[in-house]
Structure 1
Amino acid sequence: MAKTAAPDGMIFDDKGNLYFGDLENNKIQYLTLNGKINTLCEGEKIKWADTFSIYDGYLFYTNSRINETKKWRF
């Protein structure tokens, strides 16, 4: 096991790597079979990465941006 940042959305690839979002740092990371955490990509375009899918060798994800929601009082 490994300690990670707060994730949302996860998926395993066919090699056993676990991909997950790092919500607090705008990253997508992955955990290898030997327990090492690597960063796949990071930056301002990654906003609360969620709902991962792998198709034809590509990793797809959504930016849920749930942290940007506003409270409305009715």
Structure 2
Amino acid sequence: MKIQVFAVLKDHFDKEFELSRDIKDIASLKAYLSNQNTGAEGILQISRFAVHNEFVDLDYAIKPNDTICIFPPSSGG
């Protein structure tokens, strides 16, 4: 799966990276990323996840070729 992060999450992860781990759903991905970078845990907990440009729930079943975007809350104009 391909992961893309935005805004403040780019301070904690590469802007774009791939994972080949067997992660079954978005909740598991969130937990995995939180464990990999504990400094990002709080931000990940309040972020939205999208797959192929559509927001998904935490129980979304990840497929190997999915592109997952992680959007933390942000503001601005």
TM-score by length of 1: 0.31
Larger RCO, structures 1/2 (Cα 8 Å, 6+ apart): 2
Which structure has the larger Rg? 1
